Amino acid sequence: MCRLSAIAAGEYFSVMENILALDTMKEGHDGSGLGVTLQNLGGEFEHLKEYPILSGICTDAGRRKIDDYMESQGFKVKFMWEPRIKEGPGINVKKRGHYLATAYQYPDHYLDRPQAEKEELLTRTRLELRRQGSDDDSLYVFSFWPDVITLKEVGDPLEVGLFFGFDTHPLTAKVILAQGRQNTNYAIQLYACHPFFLQGYCTMTNGENTAFIPNRDYLTGRGVDGYTGYSSDSEVFCHTLHYVHHQLKYPLPYYKDVVTPLKDSELSGRADGQVLGLLKRSLRQLCIDGPNCIIGFLPDGTIFLTQDAKKLRPGIVGGVPGKYGLMSEECGLEQVLPQRRRENDIIPMRADMVIIPPGAQEVKVWNQLNGSITTPN
Amino acid sequence: MESAQRLDHNSELTLLEFPFIIRWREDRCSRCGRCTAVCPSKAIEASVMAQRLVNSQGDTPLPDTIRRVSQVIRQVNDIDRHCVGCGTCSLVCPNMAIMPEYNPSHKFLFHKNRGGIPYARGGRRNAPGTSTLDKLKFTRISMLTDPSLDAGRHEFHIRTLLGRSLPAEALPIERAGELLQLKPDGFIPPVREIFPIRIGGMSIGALSPPMWEGLAMGVAYLNEVENIPVVMCSGEGGLPPRLLKSRYLKYFIPQIASGYFGWDEIIHALPDMIEEPAAIEIKYGQGAKPGDGGLLMAYKVLKLIAKIRGVPMYVDLASPPTHQTKYSIEEAVAKMIQSVSMAWGFRVPVYPKISGTKTALAVLNNLARNPYAAALTIDGEDGATGAAYNVSMDKMGHPIASNLRDCYLELVRSGQQNELPLFAAGGVGKEANLAANAAALILLGASGVDIGKYIMQAAAECYGDERNRCNLCNLGRCPRGITTQDPRLYRRLDADRVAERVVDVFKTAEVELKKIFAPMGRSTQLPIGMSDGLGVGDQAIADRLSISYVC
């Protein structure tokens, strides 16, 4: 079972905090990979918030492809970042070419375009680059979005963190999702590593998704450019979130109502029960059966955790105002936030969705059975 | 010169030409005559036989002959009185003295066209062997990497939707702060949540009163007592007037077919209906006999049938092969769906049923664009019927698996797989694996399945099989009393017992469906289109159905 480590804070913190938390959960993953997605970036990126950042891995040939294509589209490089790679004893990570996080300036003719058109351009560009790298594995692109960086590599999470030089030169951000990969059904493939990102929406999950094929087939029929890939059965969680929140414009809690709808007998407990009955029918192909703990963030920095309808996976949330951890296991939380009051830790059950608004000053627990929101601490 | 045929019987058939040969044991037979009385095809008769016995007693051979005449049971060699192999003779024989035996080298079809009349029969396609549905295996089993579900402990929701679901974008809902609410005026198509195995259309008239009543009682019991929402289609022939006005109507799907039988009565009962039917099925085709119509023969049209169907007694009731008023799917069919919907104020799902065909995709694409089409039922070639020409049953039609799969994938391509549910029929449970066949079709993309022949076999011990056993439903001489209007025959059938068996069948199916879905990790929604759960040990089938090849 993959291990999940997410942190949301009011101040910038190092990605190494997530990785050390994953290291405490080491028994649970086989070290087959690390994936991190950072939102609301600090450090060198703090003053580049409006510039889309292309995150990926490429060979020299891949780099030329990226440079050529981006130039042809009118993107101008604003800032380039590469991790300070460390190799040596104790770091069993195989380096593959270049690890990129390059901030670009929009093409001139896009500068005054509406936000929606810019978003479409970014997704289209990412997908085209992905396509160009698919034949020869010369490049992987994980995200192309303002104020977001995604890094993925195969190996033990701590070793990958050291490999990227995060112990001495860390990336910092206010929201970071990190996953320690446990390889299960699929061959290790970088595009299969969590977290998954699309247009400001990001999720990571543990567990298999038994409803993957119906989920995937439904999403690919929505006519949305970014609903593609699916090297992992968990990528659909991110796209379902995007579909519910971005396309349908439903408030976040309805994401839970879509993926784990209430039983008919429970609908009457909700003021919007009638609507839920309709959603349950219309979006039934997006329903999951678990076992899954889903952690994700929205474009505005809201971060959440929710469980499958049978609560078949562990998950815990705890922290102090200004910094909260959302982990698959308590030891990870202990590593990041030893100063918290443990009795206030939240272990979300089947009907809960833990929501931490931007800024991470408080935790809300939304209850699916009655639609109520509580703020435990 | 006179032909020798009269002398050596050369113009007659030997019993080896017949599909079933009667094995009669003289030593056991008490000559009670029950077998000859009960035989539905008059294939056996009491006869006499002259026997010459040679006897020798004493120390030296002194053969002596005795001639005696004994009473025997003889199988007639008239092709129109062929033994159908039903075995009713063995059922009534007190001494186990008689039994039909299948003759694999028979030449029945060479001869069964006397008078230039093609062979007609009931039953399903005569094609014994493993069907495609039975070749499919469920090969995705969650276990060590992730826990599977427990069929005994976890809660399962084995239900499907009959009716059109709007895409989320078209739902009449709006955001009010952090809540979604219904808009005051928006059309929401009617949808029923039902058990994914339905009883397909078999009419009163085709079925005997106790058979239809038994099915109906079983369905009502399943709904009201067992909480398994099974629905049943009326077939073309209307519904009993009291049922139309009862609260049980909601478990039934009245069918309109090309003869429109019973619809005058249904329409007139509308003001008195206290419940709405589960749905309305418009039958355009039947998988067992595509392009062939129906015929309820005059002798079956007794008082009850005439009353229900709104016709005079003792007249042949022909359902034409096609709806005579339907000239195009875009206009006439759409209008028919719309006008039937209108009769119930657009509160009842209305859907067509077609026979499996290569042109199913064209029908599907049309229906997908019709906002009032509630579903599509596709009936494959292994479906059964009460009466059809043998050639229609054996040689016409399309297997259900690939037809259904093509249609589902077409809906997936257009993103409408959740809008228009597909129901599959034709050969479900052909080899008694009801739940497995149903689950396989669901994983291929069906929202549910229909059964007909299976329920007759399981609930009323129908003799029919794919070696042409019995299959004389068309003649009104059903030895089990299932497809006859002859009181002497149908009184053999106990409606209460049929109902009990119907309940057994569906309760069993529900448990078995759980046993299939649990290891696949699905419980809250039916795994429609979850094709990664399927595998097959035949590369060609795997390729055709876009599923895994396993060996």
- Which domains, ranges and CATH numbers included, belong to chain A? 3-374 (3.60.20.10)
What residue ranges do the domains of chain B occupy?
A: 13-117, 135-166+193-521
Using alpha carbons, select from A164, A364, A350, A370 the residue that is nearest to residue A271: A370
Instruction: Check residue B323 and give its pLDDT.
Output: 79
Instruction: Check residue B331 and give its pLDDT.
Output: 77
Tell which CATH architecture fits domain B135-166+193-521: Alpha-Beta Barrel (3.20)
Q: Give every CB contact of residue B268 below 8 A, 6+ residues apart in sequence.
A: none
Structure tokens at B496: 């209460």
Average pLDDT over residues B483-488: 93
| Residue A68 distance to chain B (closest CA, Å) | 34
- Looking at per-residue confidence, does B328 or B471 come out higher? B471
Average pLDDT over residues B306-319: 88
The enclosing H or E element of A241 equals helix A235-242
User: In chain A, what's the furthest Cα-to-Cα distance?
Assistant: 61
CB B279 within 8 A of CB B351: yes
Q: Do B418 and A211 touch (CB under 8 A)?
A: no
- Minimal Cβ distance to B524: which of A251, A285, A289: A289
Tell which CATH architecture fits domain B13-117: 2-Layer Sandwich (3.30)
Q: Can you tell me the ipTM of this complex?
A: 0.92
Total residues belonging to chain A: 377
Using alpha carbons, select from B181, B189, B184, B193 the residue that is nearest to residue B164: B189
The answer, for A372 touching chain B at a CB cutoff of 8 Å, is no
Least confident of B27-31, B94-98, B270-274, B291-295: B291-295
Confidence of residue A268 (pLDDT cuts 50, 70, 90): very high
Q: Does the pLDDT value for residue B242 go beyond 70?
A: yes
The enclosing H or E element of B391 equals helix B390-395
Q: Do A208 and B142 touch (CB under 8 A)?
A: yes
Average pLDDT over residues A115-136: 94
| Residue A247 distance to chain B (closest CA, Å) | 9
Average pLDDT over residues B360-382: 95
DSSP string for residues in B93-156:
-TTS-EEEEE-TT--HHHH--GGGPPPEEEEE----S--HHHHEEE-----SSS----TTTS--
pTM of the model: 0.94
The enclosing H or E element of B37 equals helix B34-38
Q: Does the pLDDT value for residue B294 go beyond 90?
A: no
Instruction: Check residue B299 and give its pLDDT.
Output: 82
Using alpha carbons, select from B101, B70, B67 the residue that is nearest to residue B87: B101
CB B486 within 8 A of CB B504: no
The DSSP bridge partners found for residue A152 are: A35
Q: Dump pLDDT digits (tens) for B97-120.
A: 999 999 999 999 999 999 999 999
Among A242, A289, A292, the residue to mutate for chain B (most B Cβ within 10 A):
A289
Q: Do A217 and B146 touch (CB under 8 A)?
A: no
Q: Which residue has the tokens 């070639």?
A: B381
Q: Do B182 and A274 touch (CB under 8 A)?
A: yes
Average pLDDT over residues B69-95: 96
Q: Do B171 and A279 touch (CB under 8 A)?
A: yes
| Residue B366 distance to chain A (closest CA, Å) | 18
Helix residue ranges per DSSP H, A306-375: 330-336
Q: Where are the extended beta strands (E) located within B341-416?
A: 350-355, 376-379, 384-389
Confidence of residue A28 (pLDDT cuts 50, 70, 90): low
Instruction: Check residue B296 and give its pLDDT.
Output: 82
The enclosing H or E element of A130 equals helix A115-134
Least confident of A186-195, A293-302, A328-337, B432-441: A186-195
Average pLDDT over residues A334-356: 95
Averaged confidence pLDDT in chain A: 93
CB B229 within 8 A of CB B508: no
Confidence of residue B1 (pLDDT cuts 50, 70, 90): low
Half-sphere exposure of B343 (CA within 13 A, CB side): 20
Structure tokens at B117: 């009349």
Average pLDDT over residues B87-102: 97
d(CA B77, CA B43): 8
Residue type, B377: T
Total residues belonging to chain B: 551
Confidence of residue B6 (pLDDT cuts 50, 70, 90): low
Domains B13-117 and B135-166+193-521 share a fold: no
User: In chain B, what's the furthest Cα-to-Cα distance?
Assistant: 116
Using alpha carbons, select from B493, B532, B506 the residue that is nearest to residue B209: B493
Q: Do B524 and A261 touch (CB under 8 A)?
A: yes
- Looking at per-residue confidence, does A43 or B304 come out higher? A43
Peptide bond between residue A291 and the one before it cis (omega within 30 degrees of 0): yes
Confidence of residue B329 (pLDDT cuts 50, 70, 90): confident
Residue type, A208: E
- Minimal Cβ distance to B146: which of A254, A284, A291: A291
CB A138 within 8 A of CB A62: yes
d(CA A38, CA A55): 11
The answer, for A197 touching chain B at a CB cutoff of 8 Å, is no
Structure tokens at A355: 């929501």
Average pLDDT over residues A173-199: 83
d(CA B504, CA B501): 5
Instruction: Check residue B395 and give its pLDDT.
Output: 94
Q: Where are the extended beta strands (E) located within B380-493?
A: 384-389, 422-425, 448-451
Q: Does the pLDDT value for residue B140 go beyond 70?
A: yes
d(CA A121, CA B21): 77
